[in-house]
Amino acid sequence: MTVTVTPSNTATPSSTATPSNADTEATLAELAEVAAKLDAANALAYTRERFLIPPNLVYLDGNSLGVLPAAVPAAVEDAVHRHWGNGLISSWFEEGWWDAPLRIGERIAPLLGAAAGQVVVGDSTSVQLFNTLMAAARLRPGRRVLLTDPAHFPTDAYLTDSVAGLLGLEVRRVPASEAPAVLAEIGGDVCVVSYPIVDYRTGELWDLPGVTRAAHGAGAVVLWDLCHGVGAMPIGLDEAEVDFAVGCTYKYLSGGPGSPAFSYAAARHQDTMQYPLTGWNGHADPFAMQDAYKPADGIARARIGTPPMLSLLSLEAALSAFDGVDLNELRAASLSLTGFFIECCDAALAELGFEVATPRVAGRRGSQVALRHRDAVRLVPELARRSVLCDKREPDVLRCGFNALYNTHRDALTAVRALRDLVG
């Protein structure tokens, strides 16, 4: 068997004939050489040192919680001792706490393909989703349908139902691939089109520009959940004329457990947005403590309450791991990793009942590979005991996320070998 892996490959299924164990071992040995070559040639290899990865750990769960960036501990210690301990309340202005949600938003903006003044950070993704979806739906009064994904992440599904209940709307669920056709048919009834950029289970990448165009063609606005895309690929929000987006910061951005989410609103919508969460931080003149709410101009009106500063400053430090990183290069490196992982799975795991659930076409993949296997749930803790961390989604999905800032092709092969040892 000849192994061919290129950074932007389209992985192809292996032969259906079951190879002998010796054949597979020979293939794995060849793949180890390929991995070494690809890792040696990786233009982003230097970014791995920006993370504190536990020794000998193969971490394929950065799509759930990114590893600790090297810049974080000192920043958090500084926030605790110098900002809080010594500066106390004066740090709200002298250490820039007050501006942090907007300042960190500006730092995330380039990762979204967003010009300045359109991103703010704070609160959880769930809260941001609710706040944005409510305000977005109210931009299209009289339209009664929220169009969304039947396989959306649960919090998106639940909050969409909640918003529909509050505003008297109807939720229609069709896969993103069918959304343009549905919009062509019933688009005049649709107020908001709400999809994830990447399916959290299968890792499939949806057509953000295409769905956005179709929504706009029908007069609707779009809200994208970028949780499984941001930090793993370029996202052209401005170029695609996206209206709204939210996303978490603890997956590929490695901001830390539960680090605050971001909210993007295109500049053209900001001054008509009526967010329901009218917290005082979003007021035009918050410290005047006025009786009536007057929303701030621009994206600042999407601020809500006092943000959790330690988690927020951890995120800010974490973002330095992206300094100087070209997002197209990052995307190429990510596709090389997931493509190589699929290649390894085909060579060594297909015969053991594993099925690759993620699209093999590079342009349709996010940065994770989902494997289906009847024992997936049991295998995750067994892998952990062999220092390979990934996660599961019931009933039969094993998710392997790759962050090209720190994962290697060797990681991919090690995980496949561990799975083979466990099941073979």
**Binding to a second copy (CB under 8 A): which residues in 63-82?**
64-65, 67-68, 72-73, 76-77, 80-81
7 or 256: CB nearest a second copy: 256
CB of 232 to a second copy, least distance (A): 17
Torsion angles phi and psi, residue 99, rounded to 5: -85, -5
The answer to whether residues 233 and 258 touch, using CB atoms and an 8 Å cutoff, is: no
DSSP state letters, 184-199:
HHHGGGEEEEEEESB-
Catalytic residue among 225, 243, 346, 411: 225
Structure tokens, 42: 């990786």
Contacting a second copy within 306-345 (CB under 8 A):
306-312, 314
Whether 251 sits among the annotated catalytic residues: the reply is yes
Question: Minimum CB separation from a second copy for residue 186, in Å?
Answer: 22
- C-alpha span between 300 and 38 (Å, rounded): 44
Binding residue (CB under 8 A) for a second copy from 127, 147, 321, 388: 127
Q: Considering only residues 32, 157, 171, 422, which one is a binding residue for a second copy as defined by CB under 8 A?
A: 157
The CA-based angle 58-333-246, given to 5 degrees, is 85
Stretch that binds a second copy, among 25-33, 89-97, 187-195, 336-344 (CB under 8 A): 89-97
> What CA–CA distance (Å, rounded) separates 358 from 228?
14
Question: 412 near 35, Cβ under 8 Å?
Answer: yes
- Interaction mask 346-365, a second copy, x per CB under 8 A: --------------------
Output 20 or 394, the one with its CB closest to a second copy: 394
Phi-psi map region of 231: left, alpha, beta (phi>0 left; psi -120 to 50 alpha):
left
Tell me if 252 contacts a second copy by CB under 8 A. Answer: no
**Span of 88-96, 105-113, 191-199, 402-410 interacting with a second copy by CB under 8 A:** 88-96
- Binder among 19, 219, 276, 298 for a second copy (CB under 8 A): 276
Does 294 qualify as catalytic in the annotation?
no
Of 65 and 242, CB closest to a second copy = 65
Active-site pick, 244, 250, 262, 354: 250
Within positions 370 to 389, which residues make up the interface with a second copy, using CB under 8 A?
384, 389
Of 336 and 414, the one with the shorter C-beta distance to a second copy is: 414
**What residues numbered 177-236 form the site for a second copy, per CB under 8 A?**
none
Q: How open is the CA angle 390-393-394, to the nearest 5 degrees?
A: 135
Which residues have CB under 8 Å from 163's CB, separation 6+?
130, 133, 134, 137, 146, 169
* Cβ-based nearer residue to a second copy, 29 or 288: 288
Buried b (16+ CB within 10 A) or exposed e, 331-346: bbbbbbbbbbbbbbbb
Q: 262-265 and 58-59: which strand pairing?
A: unpaired
For residue 217 the two structure tokens come to 């063609």
CB of 239 to a second copy, least distance (A): 29
399 annotated active-site = yes
If the CB atoms of residues 156 and 343 are measured against a second copy, the closer one turns out to be 156
Instruction: Report strand pairing: 397-401 vs 368-372.
Output: antiparallel
- Single out the residue of 162, 171, 241, 352 in contact with a second copy (rule: CB under 8 A): 162
Instruction: For residues 375 and 355, give the distance between their C-alpha atoms in angstroms, rounded to a whole number.
Output: 12
* Of 407, 366, 104, residue with least CA distance to 226: 366
Which lies closer to a second copy via its Cβ, residue 80 or residue 186? 80
CA distance 130 to 113: 23
| N-term to C-term CA, the chain | 20
Find the shortest distance in angstroms from Cβ 312 to a second copy: 7
When the beta carbons of 32 and 171 are compared against a second copy, the nearer one is 171
> Does the annotation count 375 as an active-site position?
no
Catalytic residue (choose from 107, 331, 360, 399): 399
The span of 6-14, 84-92, 183-191, 235-243 binding a second copy (CB under 8 A) equals 84-92
411 flagged as catalytic: no
Catalytic residues: 153, 225, 250-251, 399
